[in-house]
Amino acid sequence: MGVAWRAHDSLLGRDVAVKEVVVPSLLPQAERRAAEARVLREARAAARLNHPGAVTVHDVVREHGHTFIVMELVRAPTLADLIQAKGPLPPERVAEIGVQLAGALEAAHRVGIVHRDVKPANVLVPEIGGVKLADFGVASLQGDPTLTSTGLVLGSPAYMAPEQASGKSSGPPADMWALGATMFFAVEGEPPFDKGALIPTLAAVVNEDPRPMRRAGPIAWVIGALLAKDPAARPSPSTVQRWLRWLVDMARPGPSPATAGGPSGRSHETPTFEPARAASEPAATAAPSERPSRPGPPPARRRGGRRLVGVLALLLAGGLLVVWAVSGIGADSAGHRAARPTVGGGAGATGRAEPAPTTRAGPEATQAPAATVAPQGTLPAGWRAFTNRAGSVRVGVPPGFRARTRPTFHATIVEEERDPGRVFTVRSANPANPLPQASRDYRAWARRNLQDFREVRYAEDQSYAGREGAVVFEYEALRNGRRVHVSHINVKGRTWGYNVEFITPVGRWDSSKELARQFEQAFQPLG
């Protein structure tokens, strides 16, 4: 597509990159002029894009019959160079890169810009700071219908979407396909469809499944969804960011027992990434069979009895997948994990712990229906209040429990200090998905995916914490070798949506019902 030069902007005193765009000489003169005009137009449009994950376009200059694009100079190797030098990256790192690239694409698509040449050679990976997607406005020729009539192929065939390889018009979903192929390359060390020659590669893109993924582990299903042949079945950039942020956040190890003040051993909220199982169970590579009607848990498709495996299954067996996933979430970066706070809100706290308001002591304070005891948000004697950093929810922390937060979905977690078997979690997001459909989607997903799943109760139009229209979903499933009872409740505040979950070992559910009621009484949605 041209020659890149390092240059100096004498007016502003800064080094820049200058790309001289070279339109192929094989084009007829009329098509050549049209192509040059389009490059100029789209490069100017790319100059309006302002996102930390995109290389900034400073200016576009037409000089002596040539088009020059003046861009931010990024001193960093490309993802292609990095993989060639050091080999495939671990899944967690690829997930982080995917989040940043999807964010840049989302910003571009929002203003009508389609990259059309997302590939490892266009991803810059600095040692410090986030990755950068380069060549916005440069590769726009690839989707120009005037080029298909000449038989000319521009771009990288191994990263072309099927609609591009077939000569059809392409839009934002083509960028998402290329993102999936780029992530595939980053984690596997090779493109998903490369056959070593142009025509066989294009034929594989259109007609064949990608190579089996052996290193992708828990991100395999995200890559598989992006590589769907049907453009309409590919997830949007915001959905990809949400899925990958969730996986990255789940994979980050928790604080050591010394700093957390809790028991030794790994918390169920913070498992680590692990490779997928052997080729006998490669179903993690299968793409979802349909695009979710709204952001939420990705639908799964079973192939010949295969099932999702590895860490994804471990996470999902605990009922931890968040239903309240909505477009526009992203206030918390996947690269930042909150430390565990003490209940008293001391050093390292990521929320606000408050003294409990005065409550009436005695048996009637815990045995009578919550609505008849005190206003919503009133705490039982000895409990403390904890408000998350976003200020979206206040929960109660009983004696013997600790509270902490996670950035993803502004999650507040209240768990037993001596035995992490009982956990109360509230996740919140704004805006909220509509009820009851979000709960119905999660219920259908849980039936298909959770290990040894058994539904206990499902009820819509319920009341929870004084809020009408709640959906209550109770089920049992196997998690980490222990069978648990999950009370999964979706309820709406003024504008925020809340996913309230209480998980206990099955054998402790009956004795924990009163505690669940007290958590409900203490729960106070603030958004």
SS (H, E, C) 155-186: CCHHHCCHHHHCCCCCCHHHHHHHHHHHHHHH
pLDDT of residue 36: 75
Sheet of 482-492, strand order:
401-406, 411-416, 423-429, 497-505, 482-492, 467-479, 454-464
Strand positions, DSSP E, 73-209 = 123-124, 132-133
Q: How far apart are CA 156 and CA 191, in angstroms?
A: 11
Helix (H, G, I), strand (E, B) or coil at 103: helix
Helix (H, G, I), strand (E, B) or coil at 187: helix
Q: Give phi and psi for 225, each to the nearest 5.
A: -65, -40
**Residue pair 184/216 in contact by the 8 Å Cβ criterion:** yes
Strand positions, DSSP E, 13-65 = 14-21, 57-63
Which amino acid does the sequence have at 524? Q
Quick check: pTM over 0.85? Answer: no
Per-residue pLDDT of the chain (527 residues; tens, 9 = 90+): 678 889 999 888 899 998 887 777 777 877 777 777 777 776 777 777 888 888 888 888 888 878 888 888 988 999 999 999 999 999 999 999 999 999 999 998 888 888 888 999 999 999 877 899 988 755 444 444 444 344 444 557 889 999 988 888 778 999 999 999 999 999 999 999 988 888 888 898 999 999 999 999 889 989 999 999 999 999 999 999 988 988 777 665 443 222 222 222 333 333 333 333 222 222 222 222 233 333 344 433 333 333 333 333 333 333 333 333 222 222 232 333 333 222 223 323 344 444 333 333 333 333 333 334 457 777 888 899 999 888 888 999 999 999 988 877 788 999 988 766 799 999 988 777 788 988 898 898 888 878 899 999 999 999 999 899 999 999 999 877 789 999 999 999 888 889 999 999 999 999 999 999 999 999 999 88
**Residue pair 326/233 in contact by the 8 Å Cβ criterion:** no
The token pair at 127 is 């040692």
Residue among 292, 321, 317, 296 at smallest CA distance from 307: 317
Chain centre to alpha carbon of residue 460: 28
Residue among 231, 243, 217, 209 at smallest CA distance from 102: 243
Antiparallel, parallel or unpaired: β 384-388 and 351-354: antiparallel
> In Å, what is the CA distance from 148 to each residue of 163, 205, 497?
12, 17, 47
Could you give the angle at the alpha carbon of 493 between the alpha carbons of 489 and 497, nearest 5°? 55
Burial of 62 (0-12, 13-18, 19+ CB in 10 A): exposed
Residues with active-site annotation:
117
Strand positions, DSSP E, 417-481 = 423-429, 454-464, 467-479
41: left (phi over 0), alpha (psi -120 to 50) or beta: alpha
pLDDT of residue 264: 28
pLDDT of residue 414: 93
Q: Give phi and psi for 160, each to the nearest 5.
A: -80, 140
Residue among 295, 322, 317, 197 at smallest CA distance from 239: 295
pLDDT of residue 501: 94
Q: How far apart are CA 281 and CA 270, in angstroms?
A: 24
Burial of 487 (0-12, 13-18, 19+ CB in 10 A): buried
Question: Looking at beta carbons, which pairs linking 263-268 to residues 24 or more positions away fall under 8 Å?
Answer: 263/417, 263/418, 263/419, 263/420, 265/420, 267/415, 267/420, 268/318, 268/320, 268/420, 268/423, 268/479, 268/480
Residue 20: strand pairing partners = 3, 68
**Residue pair 319/477 in contact by the 8 Å Cβ criterion:** yes
Residue among 448, 525, 450 at smallest CA distance from 483: 450
Sheet of 66-72, strand order:
2-9, 14-21, 66-72, 57-63
Which amino acid does the sequence have at 152? L
